[in-house]
Amino acid sequence: MLTLDLTDRTAFVSGSTQGIGLAIAQQLAEAGARVAVNGRTADRVSEGIDSLVGVGIPRARLIDAPGDVTTTDGLAAALEPVGDVDILVNNLGIFGAAPALEITDEEWQRYWEVNVLSAVRLIRATLPRMTENGWGRILNIASDSAIVTPAEMIHYGVSKTALLAVSRGFAKEAAGTGVTVNSVIAGPTYTEGVQEFVYQLVDPTLPWDEAEAEFMRLHRPQSLIQRLIRPQEIANMVVYLSSPLASATTGGALRVDGGYTDSILP
């Protein structure tokens, strides 16, 4: 029998007030972890925590961790109430469609800061204590776009490709310490933000079920499940990789992509 027991572990999930991050926070807490819920403002964090309490997560398992982790001061503020972090999930990310030749230097830099450097900074802040303690888990939420660069958002794809290298490199840094570092390659996933993105690419007057099907048919035909993944399905993989059961899995890029990536590896 598989038991995903994270009792006595503390997790920090960046960008966890909604969508995939909120689902990850919920399932880590259900596995017994204390979970720091992070967003840019105290109000957003409070809303996220209220929704978790509303589905039955005890308030004692949740930590308010507001702060913009794309800045040095914001990162410090977010980590301050948490204490030692045993499980770090770098979930924060931005995406959006843009013609390739119209993406400005400033926009490229913004994607790099949010999608890549925020993860690097959080790893630098938490990995030393994990190695001292001889146990830790770091998960970077990547994307199928890291492997199959989408023409409509190459800046996003490039940032997620970089995140795979970040994961592999820090896994080597943590070699032999009891700390594992992995990427989770999320495929096209249903969130409120993705719903807005879908309507940028298909007829905005379509009912959602039809819009989702049209988006998958026209823009993600490689998907083998032929639907958007649900956030809980991404969270399932994260909780497993966060557990003691995944002690021999590190430096990897594990796919929860609905078969979207037409490759045997990774």
d(CA 118, CA 214): 34
Mark whether 260 is an active-site residue: no
Strand extents, DSSP E, 111-218:
136-143, 179-186
Residue 67: CB atoms within 10 A of its CB come to 22
Q: How far apart are CA 214 and CA 79, in angstroms?
A: 42
21 closest CA partner among 42, 35, 3, 1? 35
Catalytic residue among 111, 156, 190, 260: 156
Are the CB atoms for 195 and 208 separated by under 8 Å? yes
Contact 179, 195 (CB under 8 A): no
> Which residues does the annotation mark as catalytic?
156
